[in-house]
Copies of this chain bind each other. A is one copy, B any other.
Amino acid sequence: MAELVKSPARPEALRRRIPDAAVTRLPVYLQILNKSITDGVSQVSSDQLAALAGLNAAKVRKDLSYLGSYGTRGVGYDVAYLVYQIKRELGLLNDWKVVVVGAGNLGNALTNYSGFSSRGFVVSSVVDIDVAKVGKKVGGIIVRHVDDLKSIVNDDNVTIGLIATPPASAQCAAELLVAAGIKSILNFAAIGLTMPNDVSVRSVDFGMELQILGYYEQLHRPVVCQ
């Protein structure tokens, strides 16, 4: 891994702030580049990346330039090296452990979701408040009780919580996670959470995603109204 480092990591003080819009695109590049590796591609140009990501080449170059000047003029980018740099920037050089709260349908789906391990995350534990579910297996993991959250977080170095409970239990689940020491929460319950400032929450609401999708297509432009 050391041989991949061309230049020393910039000191924290000099670290450029990467624009929010660019940060949201880094995972997209990462996915494409990982696929390129499995396809045996080792060099890629901003034009090619742009085509695969559905963007334009200037944006790709600008985004990648926030990481540093890691391309080669006249040639392009070394795929493996770019993967390393994006992972470094996103903090993904090591895997991160997550705990799933809620062993229902959604918890099951998340625990078995193939897109986590390939992106640097490992579902380490699943907990539920329902004792009837405790001891059962979800995706090869034995469900534990929410009361065990504290020891799961402390003993197992879990740093991220996923909320996969019904909406009515989500706020409670979030508070239990925070009480156990978790500071990063990805919330899949269709409800907003109120949390202290030092906890970062990101909510994924499938219904809202559909509403936005709808606005831009069928539902809006040709006013069909069945």
A residues whose Cβ falls under 8 Å from a Cβ of B: 23-24, 26-28, 30-32, 52, 89-94, 96, 98, 104-106, 108-110, 112-116, 118-121, 157, 159-160, 166-167, 183-184, 186, 189-192, 200, 202, 204-220, 223-226
- CB contacts (< 8 Å) of A209 on chain B: these are 186, 202, 204
Complex contact A91–B23 (CB within 8 A): no
Cα distance, A160 to B202, chains bound together (Å): 25
Cα distance, A204 to B90, chains bound together (Å): 19
The complex is assembled from copies of this chain, and their number is 2
- CB contacts (< 8 Å) of A184 on chain B: these are 213-214, 217-219
Given A31-B208, A192-B31, A208-B27; A96-B214 close (CB under 8 Å): yes
- CB contacts (< 8 Å) of A183 on chain B: these are 217-218
Among candidates B112, B121, B160, B191, residue contacting A218 with C-beta atoms closer than 8 Å: B160
Say how far A103's CB is from chain B's closest CB, in angstroms: 12
Complex contact B219–A91 (CB within 8 A): yes
Give the residue name and chain of the B residue nearest to A121 (CB).
B210
- Other A-B pairs beyond A24-B212, A114-B167, 7, CB < 8 Å: A91-B218, A106-B113, A114-B166, A115-B191, A119-B190, A183-B217, A202-B209
Cα distance, A114 to B104, chains bound together (Å): 13
- CB contacts (< 8 Å) of A104 on chain B: these are 109, 112
Cβ-closest 5 pairs across A and B: A115-B190, A91-B219, A119-B207, A27-B208, A115-B207
Cα distance, A157 to B26, chains bound together (Å): 38
- CB contacts (< 8 Å) of A216 on chain B: these are 23, 200
A-B contact pairs, 27 of them (CB 8 A): A23-B212, A27-B207, A27-B208, A27-B211, A30-B211, A90-B214, A90-B220, A91-B215, A91-B219, A91-B220, A91-B225, A92-B211, A96-B210, A96-B219, A98-B210, A105-B108, A105-B109, A113-B206, A115-B167, A115-B190, A115-B191, A116-B210, A118-B207, A183-B218, A186-B210, A200-B213, A200-B216
Say how far A82's CB is from chain B's closest CB, in angstroms: 15
